[in-house]
Amino acid sequence: METERPIIIRPSRDDDVEPMLAIYRRHIRHGIEAGVEDTGTPQPDDLKDRRKNLRSRKLPHLVATSGGAVVGYAYVVLFRKRPAYRFTVKHSIYVHHEHLGRGIGRLLMQALIDACAAAGFRQMIGYIDAENSASLVLHERFGFARVGLLPGVAYRYGKWSDSVMVQRSLGAGATQPIG
């Protein structure tokens, strides 16, 4: 009987870029019907530059590995570019389709929350496809509240889809001023 290899969460590296892009491309391809051009998928150099920029701002960009292979990744960006929003981040998590249901999203989420709280961020925001019940449940388990519904913001497979906006406080959240 073969045992599952442990999942390791660590900061991403340049040599993780290709596997991360493969995971991302599959998510995008399966999010829209065939024949719709995807013009927003980053190229390897774009992702390397993004990682460098995030690192310089102390924003986490993490990967989950199993047996040395990248099986998921997660990162945050600033929620808005204006200085007033400097304590709020927006997160994204992607898990390889062959590794769904193994707890990888949960491990990445916990690592993101811990890293963001340690860096002094106070709020974490996410946008989730309203039909992605697994992601909605995961976020609820981590204390995210549904704070908004964006009706009809995505068009795929011949119908309009909604997005759910979720939010979670980190550290002291909005209860204390920055000291």
Average pLDDT along the chain: 87
1, pLDDT greater than 50: no
Range of the domain at 15: 7-169
Examine residue 178 and state whether it is found in any structural domain, yes or no: no
Average pLDDT of 103-108?
Answer: 96
Report the predicted TM-score, pTM, of the whole model to 2 decimal places: 0.87
Between 33 and 153, the higher pLDDT residue? 153
End-to-end CA distance of the chain: 55
Examine residue 135 and state whether it is found in any structural domain, yes or no: yes
Residues 30, 50: Cα–Cα separation, whole Å? 24
Q: What is the CATH number of the domain that holds 43?
A: 3.40.630.30
Examine residue 121 and state whether it is found in any structural domain, yes or no: yes
What's the pLDDT band for 156 if we cut at 50, 70, 90? confident
How many domains does one find in the chain? 1
